[in-house]
């Protein structure tokens, strides 16, 4: 069975978009720089195991304290 390069490219592009969105929403809760985290998640999707490890680390990171107006 051969690997179709177009299919592989489409898979990586879809994974990159999903990773960017997931990292942005997690980055808003867990970091002060959600756009940078989103860009790193997008770039890390070129190597899928690296992207999953990055996402796991982001999920396990503690939330930043929220600012509540009282």
pLDDT tens readout for residues 5-24: 899 899 999 999 999 999 99
How far apart, in whole angstroms, are the C-alpha atoms of residue 2 and residue 18?
26
Please enumerate in sequence order all residues whose Cβ is within 8 A of that of 42, keeping only pairs 6 or more positions apart, or say none: 16, 17, 19, 20, 23
Tell me, what's the pLDDT at 69? 64
What pTM, to 2 d.p., does this model score? 0.82
pLDDT tens readout for residues 35-56: 999 999 999 999 989 999 999 9
Alpha carbon 63 to chain centroid, angstroms: 16
């Amino acid at each position: 069975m051969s690997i179709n390069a177009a299919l592989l490219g489409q898979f990586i592009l879809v994974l990159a978009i999903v990773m960017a969105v997931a990292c942005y929403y997690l980055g808003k809760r867990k970091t002060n720089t959600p756009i940078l985290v989103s860009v790193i998640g997008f770039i890390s999707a070129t190597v899928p195991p690296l992207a999953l490890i990055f996402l796991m680390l982001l999920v396990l990171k503690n939330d930043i304290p929220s600012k509540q107006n009282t």
